[in-house]
Amino acid sequence: MLRDLRRALSRERVRYGAADRTLFAHDASVFEGGLSGPICFPESTAEVQDIMRIAMQHERSVVPRGAGTGLTGGAIPLGAPIVVAMTKMDTILEVDIANGVAWVEPGVVNLDLTRSLSELGFNFAPDPSSQQVCTIGGNVANNAGGPHCLAYGVTDAHVLAIEVVLSSGDVVTLGSVRGESLGLDLRGAFVGSEGTLGIATKIAVRLSKNPPAVRTLLLSFSSMRDAAQTVSDVVAAGIVPAAMEVMDREITNAVENYVGAGYPRDAAAVLLAEVEGLEGGVEIDSQRIVEVAQSNNAKSIHRAESEAERALLWKGRKTAFGAIAQIKPDYYLHDSVVPRSKLADVLESIYEIGARHDLMVMNVFHAGDGNLHPILLYDGRIAGELERVHAAGAEIVRACLAVGGVLSGEHGIGVEKQPYMEEQFSSDDLDHQERLRRSFDPMCRVNPGKVLPEGHSCADIQALRSIPTGVWG
């Protein structure tokens, strides 16, 4: 089988050394149970087809992978599958302004795409915090969001068509760059499927026009409740800003240590709000946001005065997770979404749950979407800390679900949030999700053991996890 793979690709693009297998057993999540088989670096659709066919011949699974920045273990190989690293397929194939579309390979880095479009006056709207490193293929797999998805929608709304290698080895194109075609939206089903329905080899993304005017407001508050209320009131007032992001005091200080962007260190919460559009409307909306903030006791109101200041503020916001290691070596992150009007209450519960479990909790989140990112800090070297983190995490998830929230807004389920799926969905619901999965991949050969919880998943997760090292000989 290794021989087959190496014949199809090349010796140096099929790795099976201990070092590579260790590295590809992980992504950016804390999950430790991965076990990688050979790692392939295809350079073309045809090579991905070859890999898929060889895998099926040998009754092996495959796991696609982008930059490995996923936070829920979606790219972690279970049961020593072939890892298909898409990082070498990183060409922007065509930028077609007349059709408002760009065709890219899945390994293209999100920010690289937006940068290459900027000269033409366009961007790729989804801007996850990891956008400087994450790939478009990974964005498709996770239906990635980002701060600016409040106004423009998540990845799904910006992907027109996807060339996919199915588990059969066949290549199909889901969706189309032509006008709305009716019929089953297999493209929509594929986006956000966490690499379980097939391997994307080309993606047509929609180009968005750069806004003529942008206004960035940095608002600070003496209480988290005031900040959360401001967010809710802004939307209730009929304003949809491009982004509304909140950070609490602790995370703001960690971020400020790194970027020095001028975030106020003494506020209980800071709100970064951005309005985009035409000059007149932007002025009106930002003024109204200021008024809403004032009526919610804003402590300070500041407008970014230059593009450089704006960029620095965003750099701070987007590197927030990484900055956490200044405080504790490990963190565990949730991604629940709650109704906007419940934000203030849920945040209070989250801090209370953290305190009860003697854990430091920080919050940095896409407030406009109600998408929370409670971060539980811990030191994995201290016995018992991780257990407390899991216990607190479970309580936080339940608190979010109890107010009508969902498990994940943009990070996906992966392996880490699988157990909670049964708290959001009935077994019938999950059974239908599995039918969707099997419509594409009847044998569950692509990224097995993800998303659906045990008992529902195509594959037996325990069996996948217990495959001994050295199974590949």
Partner 1 sequence: MTGPIDLLLDPEALNGCVQCGLCLPHCPTYRVTGEEALSPRGRIKLMREVQDHGAPVTKDVLRSFETCVQCRGCESACPSAVPFGHLIEQTRASLVREGISRSALMRIALKALEFPRLLRLGTAFLSIANRMKLIPKQLGLPARLPVRQPAIPSTGQDVFLFTGCVMDAWQRDVHAAGARVLEAAGFGVTPTNELVPCCGALHAHAGLSDDARRLAEKAIRGLSGDDRPILVDSAGCGASMKDFGRMLDTEEAKAFSERVFDIGEWLANHLDRLPEVAPLDLSVAIQDPCHLRHVQRVHETTRAALSPFVSTLIELDDDGLCCGAGGAFMVLEPAMAGSIRDRKCASIERSGADVIASANPGCSMHLADAGVKMMHPMELIDRAIAAARA
Partner 2 sequence: MTRAELAPTDPVLHSFAAELGDRGLVSIAGRGTRWSAGGEIAPGVQILRAPTGIVEVSPAEMTVRVRAGTLVADLNDALAEVGQRSALPERGGTVGGAIAVGEDHLDVLGRGRVRDSVLQVRYVSAEGKIISAGGAVVKNVSGFNLPKLITGSLGTLGAIAEVVLRTNPKPSMSQWLVSCDADPQLSFNTLYRPSCVLWDGSRTWVHLEGHAVDVAAEFDGLRHVGKFEPADSPPELPAHRWALTPRDAASMTSVEGGDFVASIGVGTLWADRPQAATPIDAALNVVHQRAKSLFDPTGRLNPGRAV
Touching partner 1, residues 150-179 (CB under 8 A): none
Among partner 2, partner 1, none, what does residue 325 contact (CB within 5–8 Å per kind)? partner 1
From the list 12-20, 128-136, 151-159, 348-356, the region that binds partner 2 by CB under 8 A is 151-159
- 290-329 residues in contact with partner 1 (CB under 8 A) are 319-326, 329
Phi first, then psi, for residue 301 (nearest 5°) are -135, 125
From the list 110-118, 277-285, 297-305, 398-406, the region that binds partner 1 by CB under 8 A is 110-118
> Does position 132 bind partner 1 by CB under 8 A?
yes
Nearest residue to 306 (alpha-carbon basis) of 262, 368, 266, 259: 262
Which residues, listed in sequence order, are joined to residue 14 by a DSSP beta bridge? 40
- 36-55 residues in contact with partner 1 (CB under 8 A) are 41
Nearest residue to 282 (alpha-carbon basis) of 270, 273, 295, 292: 273
Does residue 367 contact residue 228 with C-beta atoms inside 8 Å? yes
Among partner 1, partner 2, none, what does residue 322 contact (CB within 5–8 Å per kind)? partner 1
Helices 343-356 and 385-402: crossing angle in degrees, nearest 10, is 160
Residues 175-194: x where in contact with partner 2 by CB under 8 A, - otherwise, as a string: -xxxxxxxxxxx-xx-xxx-
Among partner 1, partner 2, none, what does residue 386 contact (CB within 5–8 Å per kind)? none
> Does position 111 bind partner 1 by CB under 8 A?
yes
- 438-467 residues in contact with partner 2 (CB under 8 A) are 438-440, 442, 451-452
Nearer to partner 1, 152 or 378 (CB): 378
> Does position 18 bind partner 1 by CB under 8 A?
yes
* Number of shown-chain residues binding partner 1 (CB under 8 A): 41
Residues 25-64: x where in contact with partner 2 by CB under 8 A, - otherwise, as a string: ----------------------------------------
Residues 214-253: x where in contact with partner 1 by CB under 8 A, - otherwise, as a string: ----------------------------------------
Nearer to partner 1, 41 or 103 (CB): 41
CB of 112 to partner 1, least distance (A): 8
Residues 101-140: x where in contact with partner 2 by CB under 8 A, - otherwise, as a string: ----------------------------------------
Among 44, 120, 257, 281, binds partner 2 (CB under 8 A): 281
Does residue 457 contact residue 448 with C-beta atoms inside 8 Å? yes
Among 284, 325, 382, 471, binds partner 2 (CB under 8 A): 284
Among partner 1, partner 2, none, what does residue 385 contact (CB within 5–8 Å per kind)? none
Which residues, listed in sequence order, are joined to residue 243 by a DSSP beta bridge? 274
Among partner 2, partner 1, none, what does residue 258 contact (CB within 5–8 Å per kind)? partner 1
